[in-house]
Structure 1
Amino acid sequence: MSKAFGYRAFGGPEHQEFLDRPVPVPGPDRLQIAVRAAGVNPIDWKIRNGWLGTDRPLPAVLGAEAAGVVEAVGPGVEGFAVGDEVFGVTVAGGYAEHTLLDAAVSARKPAEVPFATAAALPVAGATAWDAVEQLALEPGRTLLVLGIAGGVGSAAAQLARARGVKVVGTAADRNRDWVASFGATQVRYGEGVADRIRTAAPDGVDGLLDLIGGEDLREAAAVLADRTRLVSTADPDTAAALGGSAVRRNPGREALAALAALVAAGGLDPRITATYPLDRAPEALAEVESGHARGKLVLVVE
């Protein structure tokens, strides 16, 4: 049996518990891995709450991304072998000792990249990559990130800066130095945010990545001249009403490999602020669910 952390009913944290399950067997296009690390993301608790549908079988294991060592390869899988160190998107939950990865959204982990770092890339890192690619801002332009202090925001800021793009982002004042550490300018979110953005970016804003939604998005959009350069992960309906769109996700092996190569070369830091053993998964998820977590949180499986 394999230890995992998940939930037996949709809803709040009261439905979470540790589970024992058989080691999952890989079907077609799947990799079975011994998990070494798993990323913790807001999407995890949103899925548990049932906000993304309630049609998945229960009990279910939490976690959308993981890194580990391949123990079995499913039919039709090419490019991977038993013993490979890999990372990718899970199809059987990441908060576990063993899980399955989607081989199409997995990549080999470079030897110089730690498992914990690799586990932080498939969701937040890849979302940031897709958003920056979609916005396609030229060097010298300015990107505004709403909710810059988290995993997606900090990765997007670094990726944009690597393209020569200036970055301004909304965050609490306590995160001012944190935001500055990855080359961006912090602006306090909340009422009056548009005026503060104009002060921080007097030459205007050329692209907007929204990770918050709601009223902050509606107010901040006023500073953006071209609303087609507005993309959102948090509130695609409001983004569309304002003339923007959802971030178009295009996850795949090539994007993950490119992210890992950037990390290995020192061009991207997923900004892991805390690691937790699997036994403390409830604590890690609670911190992310609070909405106040900086950077990335990762579970480490010994």
Structure 2
Amino acid sequence: MPKAYVFTRNGGPEAEALVDRDTPVPGPGELLVAVRAAGVNPVDWKLRAGYTRPGSEPLPFPTVFGSEAAGVVVATGPGVGTFAVGDEVFGSVLTGGYAEYTLLPVAVTAHKPAGLSFADAAVLPVAAATAYDGVSQLGLAPGATLLITGAGGGVGAAAVQLARHAGVHVIGAASPAKKEFVESLGAVHVASGAGLADRVRAAAPDGIDAVFDLVGGDTLREAARLLADPATLISAGGKPLAEELGGAPVERARTAAVLAELADLVASGVLRTHVTRTFPLAGAGEALRAVESGHALGKTVIEVTA
């Protein structure tokens, strides 16, 4: 039977297991995909720990880890449009990405360009798409200055590159250990932590025009103080607090069109995914620990043997 990496209850790493499971069956508008790569994101371990998305139902156990994947279509349900068996695709998953087989909804699935690796495609639907939606939401003009907190992570790295591509000057807040990485993306690095506002003022003496927050908490509060207009604050790291401070959460589009645009940007060299670590499916637990530590650079991927 096909393998999948699951959590069997809410808790810590002790709740994780590599198990056999039945191959999912695609329904209307769904694709059964043989997974070649799956992205690892902080939300994966947070769901295991008991976090629930607002408005969502409690998760059934066991639940397969993972929100994004890339692979090859092996079966289709009714009404799948231009998708066919044998197509190489990537998108958001319905039945978990850390698996040999999963289901993708066509509404949030795109064709993988031939020049794009499965690993690079697999990390676009969550982090890169969140970055794309946030930068689009702010709509800053060329020459504007944007502060991105958490600039060394998966969403932050993509957001820096997309904003720079739009002609925006970027201040990237991240740990000192990530300074070289953040600067390689085209941002001016400032160290995160207490005193952030003073360091940002020193790096941008003319002020900043917007904040794209990916951290929340005290970092978000300090960053908000730098803005003359709180409406130019958006957050994917502390959504309720952002609203309390006069800003807004990142408005997610979650469309196949955004995924296709991101794939084109990667294929053309505008956007680099910065996949820095890969693990086999049997090493999914180690991959989760790497991301859960909070110190991972760029993106971590689980590769599934064809």
TM-score by length of 1: 0.98
Q: Which runs of 5+ in 1 are unaligned?
A: none
Partner residue of 1:153?
A: 156
Superposed, which structure 2 residues align to 1:70-219 within 5 Å? Answer: 70-219=73-222
The structural deviation recorded for 1:25 is 0.7
The structural deviation recorded for 1:74 is 1.1
Superposed, which structure 2 residues align to 1:226-241 within 5 Å? Answer: 226-241=229-244
The structural deviation recorded for 1:154 is 0.3
- The answer to whether 1:65 aligns with 2:51 is no
Report the Cα distance in structure 1 between the residues aligned to 2:304 and 2:205, rounded to whole angstroms: 47
Residue identity opposite 2:37 in structure 1 = A
Partner residue of 2:24?
A: 24
- The answer to whether 1:5 aligns with 2:39 is no
Provide runs of 4+ in structure 1 moved above 6 Å. Answer: none
Conserved 8 A contact 2:231-2:248: yes
- The answer to whether 1:287 aligns with 2:305 is no
Q: CA offsets, 1:233-287, max 9 Å, x none? A: 1111110111001100001110000000011111100111111111111011111
Q: Secondary structure at the match of 2:107?
A: strand
Conserved 8 A contact 2:146-2:210: yes
Residue identity opposite 1:23 in structure 2 = T
Q: Secondary structure at the match of 1:104?
A: helix
Residue identity opposite 1:153 in structure 2 = G
Report the Cα distance in structure 2 between the residues aligned to 1:256 and 1:17, rounded to whole angstroms: 31
Q: CA RMSD in A?
A: 0.9
Report the Cα distance in structure 1 between the residues aligned to 2:227 and 2:156, rounded to whole angstroms: 18
Q: Secondary structure at the match of 2:69?
A: strand
The structural deviation recorded for 1:207 is 1.1
Report the Cα distance in structure 2 between the residues aligned to 1:289 and 1:74, rounded to whole angstroms: 35
Report the Cα distance in structure 2 between the residues aligned to 1:226 and 1:275, rounded to whole angstroms: 41
Number of residue-to-residue matches in the alignment: 302
Report the Cα distance in structure 2 between the residues aligned to 1:273 and 1:118, rounded to whole angstroms: 14
Report the Cα distance in structure 2 between the residues aligned to 1:24 and 1:279, rounded to whole angstroms: 20
Q: CA offsets, 1:152-183, max 9 Å, x none? A: 00000000000000111111111111101010
Report the Cα distance in structure 1 between the residues aligned to 2:30 and 2:237, rounded to whole angstroms: 29
Q: CA offsets, 1:201-240, max 9 Å, x none? A: 1111111111100011101111111111111111111101
Conserved 8 A contact 2:278-2:300: yes
TM-score by length of 2: 0.97
The structural deviation recorded for 1:90 is 0.5
Residue identity opposite 2:151 in structure 1 = I
Q: Secondary structure at the match of 2:37?
A: strand
Report the Cα distance in structure 2 between the residues aligned to 1:14 and 1:163, rounded to whole angstroms: 44
Residue identity opposite 2:170 in structure 1 = V
Residue identity opposite 1:185 in structure 2 = V
Report the Cα distance in structure 2 between the residues aligned to 1:244 and 1:107, rounded to whole angstroms: 31
Report the Cα distance in structure 2 between the residues aligned to 1:242 and 1:44, rounded to whole angstroms: 28
Partner residue of 1:263?
A: 266
The structural deviation recorded for 1:185 is 1.0
Report the Cα distance in structure 2 between the residues aligned to 1:13 and 1:163, rounded to whole angstroms: 41
Report the Cα distance in structure 1 between the residues aligned to 2:76 and 2:203, rounded to whole angstroms: 51
Conserved 8 A contact 2:235-2:248: yes
Report the Cα distance in structure 2 between the residues aligned to 1:10 and 1:91, rounded to whole angstroms: 19
Residue identity opposite 1:243 in structure 2 = G
Report the Cα distance in structure 2 between the residues aligned to 1:79 and 1:48, rounded to whole angstroms: 35
Q: CA offsets, 1:42-95, max 9 Å, x none? A: 011111112116612211100000000000111221110000000000010000
